[in-house]
Structure 1
Amino acid sequence: MEPIQHRAGRRVVVTGAGGFVGRAVVQTLLATGHRAIGVCRTAPDVPLPGGVEAVCADLATDPLPPVLAGLRPDTIIHCAGLTHAPETGEGRAALTAANLTATVRLIEAAARLPQPVRLVVVSSAAIYAPMPEGLAATTEDHPLRPAGAYGVSKAAATLHALAQAERLDLDLAVAVPFNVTGPGQPAHLVPQVFVARLRADPSAFALSNPQSVRDWVDVRDVAAALVMLGQPQGPRGVFNVATGLGHSLQEVLDVLCRIGGWQPVVREGAAHNVAGVTRSIGSPARLVAATGWTPRVSLEDSLRDMIRTAS
């Protein structure tokens, strides 16, 4: 598969534009000469980069065909979703509405547009089954067997997107980012959790699963991949957004301490959002072959920028 050719000047709608990944996508679009239009459920607390307009729409409940018709997108990059909810019936319902229902309705509305539109649906590595011993990296053909409610909702959205793309011949790709890190990461996710705890009291740092391994990919690299996948008539199917490298929580903690000059007293504590998964490493080979994308930000640089920009 030949790497895609970059074409600037498109009108690109970014759902969830006020979020962690969405903001980075908007910045990347602006830097590469595109017109970015943000769609947010509520008005963002902080203006979008470059003064980009933010259209307010709840993808799970609002009428979407007139919204999209008015925006006239060439591409839609669907970053909106919910990553965290209480382990209750209400929490699972919220994840289903934000991740599955919103995706179903967005694809339906996009399919009704009079002009062709490129769709990039952002999924998550939480959709995959646990990695067996001996497997170096997860490919896109790996079985789906999510361990938690978030992964279930994203797996359902992924399967729906692929089924509709096949049924309606949609110009659609699904991106599967692995553990996204970097400046602006939400406070409830690692490594941001580690940064906050180290700053608050390094002498009381709790870490119960130090050998859990993740493929940490910087949000700016993720945004670059999504923009590349957003090229009209681009590659279809599922594409991992990953580095192919695994680093344990202990390694992440060690790098943070070296950068920040912290000397924590580490004790055993509660698990850090690992959903029972010991190893999660992705193969980016399909994405690299299809687009020419490669990760450019090292884990250390990503963590350094996170510390510098964290409030």
Structure 2
Amino acid sequence: MRRILITGGAGFIGSHFARSLPDAEITVLDKLTYAGDRANLEGVPHTFVHGDLCDAGLLKEVVPGHDLVVNFAAESHVDRSIEGAAVFVRTNVLGTQTLLDACLEAAVPKVVQVSTDEVYGSIDAGSWTEDAPLRPRSPYAASKAGGDLLALAYAVTHGLDVSITRCGNNYGPCQYPEKMIPLFVSRLLDGRKVPLYGDGRNVRDWIHVSDHCAAIRLVAEKGRPGEVYHVAGTAELTNLELTGRLLAECGAGWEMVEHVEDRKGHDRRYSLDDAKLRALGYRPRVGFASGLAETVRWYADHPGRRARHEE
């Protein structure tokens, strides 16, 4: 049985990844910040370690003996990074460096650094390939780019077997309600209006969290050291189009939408070319319509998990 360490495993994507590994011995390391919740791991056999990715002494104890380390631990909300960048740099850059050092010292056979399409900035047309230049436009994106560059440097300098995945916008059950889909669904189900940034024409590519986790598993198995792999979404939508779908799923009308001032430096469009990952055999399985309907049902069935950050 493989031993797998999942950092940030009590968060949205990390907990889904843990749930997708029925035949592994799982260790979860999580600081349990506002977005981490041990309830996300309910029913998943695992060893839980409460700790900070920047704690080198703790990592020296936890990392050895694992066959795979997957780093989900990150501060990830753009709005929060605009309000204060320091915690993003600490976790996403210094935390990644501390983890890479621990993996190197422990001779971990495989490491996967989970990243984001936002490191590339904004693209008006076409799609980024993995060799596109990094042009982050928010403190969050810049901190993730910093962590990625460290990972690539450790692959070259030290020969660490680390691969990077970069994905678009995730959605699905258990997501903390600050991102667009869980926030809008939470508010609409509670009869509250939703805030739509600017003209609503920013474009994002959406992927169900289970497809993202399948891609990470594939990269963990077949990804080459020092290589980046894109995980493209299955539905490219403007925020206006997505809002219309969410209104329909929740039985609400456009009167429930409030247009608010746009975010500073708001990227207009993201788009990834995932031909490299598909060459490894990856195919997404969850259609956007069915995945979105399932997600809305989950929030309807779990009122206690809605819009907690606004309380």
Q: Which TM bucket (shorter chain)?
A: 0.7 to 0.9
* C-alpha distance in 1 between matches for 2:109 and 2:143: 24
Q: Select the structure with the greater relative contact order (CA < 8 A; seq sep ≥ 6).
A: 1
User: What per-residue deviation string (whole Å, max 9, x for no partner) do you get for residues 97-150 of structure 1?
Assistant: 11111100000110011x442000011111013113xx3212112221111110
In 2 relative to 1, CA 47–303 (structure 1 residues): closer, same or farther, beyond 3 Å?
closer
SS of alignment partner, residue 66 of structure 2: coil
CA apart distance, 1:268: 5.2
Report the equivalent of 1:164: 154
- Equivalent AA in structure 1 for residue 184 of structure 2: F
Rounded Cα–Cα distance in structure 1 between residues aligned with 2:210 and 2:262:
23
- 1:57 and 2:57 aligned: no
1: distance between equivalents of 2:52 and 2:200? Answer: 38
Of the candidates 235, 249, 255, which is equivalent to residue 265 of structure 1?
255
Distance (whole Å) between structure 2 residues aligned to residue 205 and residue 59 of structure 1:
34
TM-score w.r.t. the length of structure 1 is 0.87
Instruction: In structure 1, give the amino acid aligned to 2:46.
Output: V
Letter in 2 for 1:58: D
User: What letter is aligned with 2:39?
Assistant: V
SS in 1 for 2:177: coil
- How many residue pairs get matched? 291
1:29: which partner in 2? 21
Partner of 1:111: 104
Identity among equivalent positions (%) equals: 27
Structure 2: which 5+ runs fail to align? 304-311
1:222-253 alpha-carbon deviations (Å, 9 max, x no partner): 1111111112x632311111136511112212
The letter for the 1-side match of 2:52 is D
Deviation at 1:260, TM superposition (A): 2.3
CA contact (8 A) 1:129 1:142 kept: no
Instruction: Give deviations 1:239-296, integer Å, cap 9, x for gaps.
Output: 111136511112212222222222231555225768511111111111111x311111
Is 1:87–2:82 an aligned residue pair?
yes
**TM-score, normalising length: structure 2:** 0.87
Pairwise CA distance, 1:210: 2.1
RMSD: 2.1
User: What corresponds to 2:6 in structure 1?
Assistant: 14
CA contact (8 A) 1:244 1:284 kept: no
Secondary structure of the residue aligned to 2:254 is coil
Aligned partners of 2:185 and 2:235: how far apart in 1?
A: 22
1:308 CA drift (Å): 1.1
* 1:34 Cα deviation from its structure 2 partner: 2.2
* Partner SS for 1:269: strand
Is this contact kept in 1: 2:111–2:162, CA < 8 A? Answer: yes
Cα distance between partner residues in 1 of 2:293 and 2:166: 25
Tell me, yes or no, if structure 1 residue 298 matches structure 2 residue 291.
Answer: no
> Is 2:264 the counterpart of 1:278?
no
Distance in 1 of aligned mates of 2:234 and 2:276: 12
Distance 1:253 1:301, change over 3 A: same
Gaps of at least 5 residues in structure 1 are 1-8
Q: 1:214 to 1:82 in 2, by over 3 A?
A: same
